[in-house]
Amino acid sequence: MLIRQATADDLPAIYRLVAELAEYEKEPEALTATIEDYRKDFAAGFFEAVVAEHPVSGQITGMALYYLTYSTWKGRMLYLEDFVVESASRQLGLGQQLFDAVFERARAYECRLVKWQVLDWNEPAIAFYRKQGAIIEDNWWSCKIFT
């Protein structure tokens, strides 16, 4: 697989993978952003992504979508918003390659921290993150308000 920075042409595949992730997380109705939103926001630089592309077919089989943010305690930070490999392509090492690519981007941006969330019931993801040496916090709760 080829791991590379995403382009605007990859957005439909990224959107498809996000929809697959929403299904996996048992919240397909929660995906309310549209492909048009993705196109507009990608062009405006609100997010970046790395993708796993099959070298022969060109099919995108995995992606990690992230953006830069700031930690008042640590400084420059990269937030990993979504990270998914399509179910048919799991267990091939793509997740590790995508995860490593995100950290390469974080180092290139001189980030001091990479942060993300994982659902408490997603044991395969939790095991993967623990294998990476991640600190999985259980004392901070996520908060949100829709505008």
Q: How far apart are CA 111 and CA 76, in angstroms?
A: 5
Identify the active-site residue in 38, 67, 70, 129.
Answer: 129
Quick check: 53 and 6 in contact, CB under 8 A?
no
Which of 110, 113, 114 has the alpha carbon at shortest distance from 74? 113
Q: How far apart are CA 141 and CA 123, in angstroms?
A: 19
Residue that is written with structure tokens 């791991």 in the block: 3
129 as an active site residue: the answer is yes
Alpha-helix residue ranges (DSSP H) falling in the chain: 11-24, 35-43, 94-108, 123-131
Alpha-helix residue ranges (DSSP H) falling in 8-63: 11-24, 35-43
Cβ atoms within 10 Å, residue 46: 12
Residues classed as catalytic: 129
